[in-house]
Amino acid sequence: MKNVTDSDWFNASLSFFRASKPLTVLTQDTTSLEGVEMLLKETDHNGFPVVVSRESQFLVGFVLRRDLSLAVGKLCS
């Protein structure tokens, strides 16, 4: 029987959390309504991090898919 070390756990954790796709984010000032609509159509994520910009990915918030869908619905009606 093999002894499990901290290194084994760390390596297993890394492989579990490694993203298979690039992170999808919203930028606080430059994301358009069309961009949000496209994001909702092309992904099935339940929430999105909000960052300052693509260059400075400082996290400023998080928005749920449900809230985005409601906001888009109100703006488009």
Q: Which domains does the chain have, with CATH numbers?
A: 22-76 (3.10.580.20)
- Which pair of structure tokens corresponds to residue 8? 């084994």
Q: Give the whole-angstrom CA distance, residue 56 versus residue 1.
A: 47
Higher pLDDT, 56 or 20: 56
Higher pLDDT, 67 or 5: 67
Average pLDDT score over the chain: 82
Q: Give the whole-angstrom CA distance, residue 54 versus residue 64.
A: 20
Q: Give the whole-angstrom CA distance, residue 13 versus residue 5.
A: 13
- In this prediction, residue 57 carries a pLDDT of 83
DSSP E strand stretches across the chain? 26-27, 47-51, 59-64
pTM of the predicted structure, to 2 decimals: 0.67
Q: Give the whole-angstrom CA distance, residue 63 versus residue 33.
A: 14
